[in-house]
Amino acid sequence: LVIRATRIAAGVRIADNMPDETRLRAILSDENVRRLQDRLRAGGGMEGPTEQWTSEPPPGADPGHTTSFSIADHEGNFVCITQSLGSVFGSGVAVPGTGVLLNNFLYWADVQPGSPNLAKPGQPLAMCMAPSISTRDGEPCLALGTPGSYGILQTQAQALVSHLDFGLGLQTAIDAPRARLWDGRLVEIENRVAPEVLVALRE
């Protein structure tokens, strides 16, 4: 169910990566949510994009340059930061006196003709960073972030579902085996998943 929900959510995000306020209200409306729930429960195979409008990876894409950290103090303040260079040494430019490298994420911009997210002058760059702070009764209770390119949006959801819905301890939920969806119908599952579970998923 989580895998199907991830596929549906990716399609919604890609079709409306930066919706205006009116469109966002329509996406989050009860009517649209019920429609998505019906798709989720319908069963059967699903396919679609998971990253950008095009299945082509950004030129020069290079993994391993994203970090995330979460901090809470005794006064109840929470911070969750996810930072990425984009590729090796980012833009190759460091802020003088800091050693901090600037990223080169502009190369992730969607430049595919026909894409609803086609890069335009002055438009914010759609990004897959998703640091999160969860609240209970209006107060922060959990900060969670992760590296992983577009997998960030999948990893965090799976960890949160394991912790909040299935009651796993936070570290156990983070350490639990996960799946990564790719474009089309491909689902990559960690080899720590029990063989009988894989058989059931294939069915």
Residue 83 and residue 69: Cα distance in Å, rounded? Answer: 9
66 is known as an active-site residue: yes
124 half-sphere exposure, CB direction, 13 A CA radius: 7
Q: Identity (one letter) of the amino acid at 161?
A: V
69 DSSP 8-state letter = E
Phi, psi of 134, deg, nearest 5: -90, 150
Cα-based distances in Å from 3 to 101, 128, 201 = 35, 18, 10
Neighbours of 147 (CB within 10 A): 17
How far apart (Å, rounded) are the C-alpha atoms in residues 79 and 90? 24
Spatial distance between the Cα atoms of 77 and 7, rounded to a whole number of angstroms: 34
Catalytic residue among 50, 66, 82, 146: 66
- Residue pair 148/67 in contact (Cβ under 8 Å)? The answer is no
Q: CA 55 → CA 35, 47, 52, 59, 85, distances in Å?
A: 26, 12, 7, 12, 22
Active site residues: 66
